[in-house]
Structure 1
Amino acid sequence: MHTASRRLRLAIASVLLANSASSFALNTATIVASALSPDCLEYRVTGICYWLYCTLTGCTVRTSVKVRHYVPDAVVSSYSNTGENPWIEVRAMSLPNPTAQAGGDGTTNEAHENNLAKFKNADVIGHPGGHVFGQFASAFGYNCAGAGTAFMPYLLSTLDTVAWRYNVPESLYPEALIPGLREIGTRTAMNLWGNVYPRGGFLHQVDDHKAAAVVAQRAGDIVTRRNQIHVYRPLLASPRTGYWPAGALMETDPSTGKWQELTPTLSNTCAVFPHGNTRAQARQGDYAWALWRPYSCCRRRGQVFLGSVDFM
């Protein structure tokens, strides 16, 4: 019976994703439906937790299953024109202000201007699909909580002007000055998309989709770390008994997080940058991804946590 129910939920999820893909604008309903992705969830039983359970008659050791899966923590938008976040309902969060005006790429109106810098704003906002995702994930078994709060702004580049538009002080960091450090892709594999540092809105990249992806990675890099020299709120949960939250996001490493494209095309799978999937170009230079991050947890079955054992 449980298997039949699980299959039914997966079928419903596929239908909702297909219907959302036909939607032109990126709105909250589309984003919520996108969270019903078994590929992005990647649910696994990884081990066993041990608990000491005591009553007036004595103590016993109880066990619970340790699971690991990904959670859609945030929507990361990367877009050219200030104030035009592709997620319609949250545009008012990042309108132009006296220190953050306009946007777009440098141009000379010539066809061979590939050497000019591109610019992208970036917003990291809590994923709105938490409740629906929780019900979806529970069909697989016990599920873990993520760090994101729906609609919470974790980074708005319009409020991070000094670091985002002037690269101060990160343009002087070793990661920004030494080729090969903190890069998305490699030169030897001929798939270099760009550098993570300096974590601002400017970069040189001919492909607009790749440029937006690099900027999204930069924004995710900032919010998944504490004490960065940016105006932001950390997107991190604190570990506790029987709960192991996601840590710092690292480029090209799916064990730290992965991306689900939301616009200009809606994907029902997740990947890390760089990847070989078809990359549609947005007409207005506006892109968005859901950032999925891994969490592990087990159900509490006693007063004292004795430890856990992971399967090979």
Structure 2
Amino acid sequence: MLGVATSAMAINTAAIVASSLSPDCLAWKVVGICYWLECSSFGCSVETSVKVRHYIPDAVVSSYANTGANPWTEVRVMSAPNPTAQAGGDGTTNQGHEDNLARFKNADVIGHPAGTVFSRFASQSGYTCEGAAAPFMPYLLSTLDTIAWRYTIPESVYPESLIPGRREIGSRLTDNLWGNVYPRGGFLHQVHDYETGAVVAQRAGDIVTRRGQVHVYQPLLADPHDGYWPAGALMESDATTGKWQELTPTLSKTCAVFPNTDTQVQATQGDYAWALWRPYSCCERRGQTFLGSVDHE
């Protein structure tokens, strides 16, 4: 059921940090064994360490209607209006029965602020991995990405934008199509404002988890090394690449992928924010040379 929020909802840093203490989103798990070659003056031996996988809240992704009104209050100054990016909102004729006009959302992807608080929480489960994000680091601000975000140049002519069924969130066959990932800009024809916000958040996450995209952004990616397998490209509806924790207008203790079946609360001001959790695998170094790993899955 689609609900309607009774008041404009914002969220602050303290609430975002507290929301990261979620066992459901963390999903810590032993997935294999790593092998290391340890050598000393007395000879060499093969040592092992446990390989673990868990999710990390890399970023807060805000999707909001009015430029400069990021629902994460402390970071609003990062995405203030500028000469190329002002105003916002939906295309409308104030007719309630019309649902074929474009909705618009700004989007910001900013490093999750949980930092050491999350690290202490996660370490209670066992050995933990390092994420790719730096707290409060802006990885994408749509106000600085005007050509791609507001005019969808050049992605409006990409095959993913023109061919039905390519890179879509939901399915036409199940009558649960939320929207298309491409073109990865702020406009979407969608009757539900919540679903619009989710699709735009997915688009922003899609951009920052890839290199070499035609957008103004900073990749949110870490380089793999011995005993460390960082998260890669985010894919819609695939929890093995990332999942979402709603922060506002409702604060959820669990994570899901879009489209989800949870109650969808529409924000009165069209402002939404999610934490993007991504999977990392790693194991503790036990020798000078990494020999490989074996997964149980």
Q: What is the TM-score of this pair, normalised by structure 2?
A: 0.97
The equivalent residue for 2:78 is 93
The equivalent residue for 1:120 is 105
CA apart distance, 1:179: 0.3
Pick the aligned partner of 1:80 from 44, 60, 65: 65
Pick the aligned partner of 1:216 from 201, 225, 246: 201
Secondary structure at the counterpart of residue 67 of structure 2: coil
Pick the aligned partner of 1:247 from 232, 240, 247: 232
CA apart distance, 1:254: 0.3
Deviations 1:62-82 (CA, angstroms, capped at 9, x unpaired): 000000000000000000000
Percent of pairs with identical residues: 76
CA apart distance, 1:112: 1.8
Pick the aligned partner of 1:59 from 13, 34, 44: 44
The answer to whether 1:307 aligns with 2:280 is no
Q: 1:217, 1:111 → 2: CA distance?
A: 27
The equivalent residue for 1:258 is 243
* RMSD, aligned α-carbons: 0.9
Q: 1:233, 1:308 → 2: CA distance?
A: 31
Q: 1:219, 1:54 → 2: CA distance?
A: 46
Pick the aligned partner of 2:115 from 127, 130, 147: 130
Secondary structure at the counterpart of residue 280 of structure 1: strand
Secondary structure at the counterpart of residue 264 of structure 2: coil
CA apart distance, 1:113: 1.8
Secondary structure at the counterpart of residue 69 of structure 2: coil
CA apart distance, 1:25: 3.4
The equivalent residue for 2:172 is 187
Q: 1:111, 1:43 → 2: CA distance?
A: 46
Q: 1:44, 1:267 → 2: CA distance?
A: 22
The answer to whether 1:232 aligns with 2:217 is yes
Q: Which amino acid aligns with 2:110?
A: I
Pick the aligned partner of 2:56 from 63, 67, 71: 71
Q: 2:270, 2:167 → 1: CA distance?
A: 25
The answer to whether 1:166 aligns with 2:144 is no
Pick the aligned partner of 2:14 from 29, 41, 56: 29
The answer to whether 1:278 aligns with 2:263 is yes
CA apart distance, 1:190: 1.1
Q: 2:178, 2:214 → 1: CA distance?
A: 24
Q: Which has the higher contact order (CA 8 A, sep 6+)?
A: 2
The equivalent residue for 2:29 is 44
Moved over 3 A (4+): none
CA apart distance, 1:196: 0.2
